[in-house]
Amino acid sequence: MAGGFRLMAVHAHPDDESSKGAATMARYLAEGDDVTVVTCTGGERGDVLNPRLVDDPQVKSDLVALRRAEMAKAREVVGFEHVWLGFVDSGLPEGDPLPPLPDGCFALEPLDITVEALVRVIRERRPHVVTTYDENGGYPHPDHIMTHVVTIAAVRAAGDPDAYPHAGAPWQPLKVYYDRTFTRAKLSAYHEALVKDGRDSPYPEWLERRSDRPEGRVTTRVRCDEWFDVRSRALLAHATQIDPDGMFFALDAREQGEAWPTEEWDLALSAVPLTPDEDDLFAGLGSPEQADALATSGAVTMVIDDVVERKEH
């Protein structure tokens, strides 16, 4: 399909965009489409997950600035446009009982404020397709769950001229996808590739941790193995968050492509019918000009996910 479409990926923290859908974004950029990443928070309360940097003086002195710099590097690697939504990381509460979330964090912000902020970006960038997380956040981090809530509300409000009238001219995104990056089938394929080659696999533990989580449905598989190297380099740009010796890199980009050449998505809301065996996030939208006309027509009905016909993964 020729370029000219616009894609927006809404994420909770810097690094989420690189671990969830970076190769899909790189493919569409290579094909001439526009891609914008919206990051809801600055990742201020994130842990340092790279053991090589735990005691690094710069990390200890200004993690906020470092994570912004990492985000800039990842943006340069992939090539997307980037918008900080400007809210504060909620952190991941741990303990029993769980401690309260900190005052002023993203997960506690009034929805009128957070939704309007994203509506402004949607109306400015005019995406045909939006990607984000499902109602469980992909995993139950309060910022991921809030990102889902805010994104769905903003998508529904963006095309309504009576909603947030001072936030720009109405624009209705036509499709919303949930990220399905870490399916059990994909992780199992990675594990089997390592075992077949006689190497140790880190994936049984990861699979066990995910065994009690519901497996998200998959409607769409985007072939993007040509850009797995871009995905790997974008991940490594987030040096405080990604261990270069960790499970993301147990297989190199070529081996990942041989084991599992696609990134997976779940069509959650759509103004057009689901295309059978869908392999393109812009499927069913016609030309970019036709999509533009539909998005501004004022006559779009976004079908909720339970009505959309699906394929089980």
> pLDDT of 37-79, one tens digit each?
999 999 999 888 888 888 888 887 888 999 999 999 999 999 9
- Confidence band, pLDDT 50/70/90 cuts, at residue 313: very low
- Averaged pLDDT, 119-139: 96
Is 246 a domain residue?
yes
Q: Provide, rounded to the nearest whole percent, the portion of the chain with pLDDT above 70.
A: 96
Q: For residue 84, give its domain range.
A: 6-181+217-251+262-295
Find all residues with CB under 8 Å of 288, minimum gap 6, and list them: 4, 5, 6, 128
How do 6-11 and 129-132 pair as beta strands? parallel
pLDDT for 172-186, tens place per residue?
Answer: 999 999 999 989 999
- Confidence band, pLDDT 50/70/90 cuts, at residue 305: low
Residue 54: what pLDDT? Answer: 85
Is 196 a domain residue?
no
pLDDT for 3-32, tens place per residue?
Answer: 899 999 999 999 999 999 999 999 999 999
58, two tokens: 């710069």
Is 171 a domain residue?
yes
pLDDT for 273-286, tens place per residue?
Answer: 998 899 999 999 99
- Report which of residues 115 and 51 the model is more confident about: 115
Is 93 a domain residue?
yes
pLDDT for 228-276, tens place per residue?
Answer: 999 999 999 999 999 999 999 999 999 999 999 999 999 999 999 998 8
Is 199 a domain residue?
no
Instruction: Say how far apart CA 202 and CA 194 lie, in whole Å.
Output: 9
Kindly report the pTM of this predicted structure.
0.94
Is 231 a domain residue?
yes
How big is the CA angle at 79 (ends 78 and 82), to the nearest 5 degrees? 105
Residue 177: what pLDDT? Answer: 97
Please tell me the total count of domains within the chain. 1
Report the CATH number that the domain containing residue 273 is assigned in CATH. 3.40.50.10320
* CB distance 230 to 30 below 8 Å: no
pLDDT at residue 311 tops 70: no
- Averaged pLDDT, 216-226: 96
Mean pLDDT of the chain: 93
pLDDT for 147-176, tens place per residue?
Answer: 999 999 999 999 999 999 999 999 999 999
Residue 308: what pLDDT? Answer: 44
Is 16 part of any known ligand binding site? Answer: yes
Residue 77: what pLDDT? Answer: 98
Is 275 a domain residue?
yes
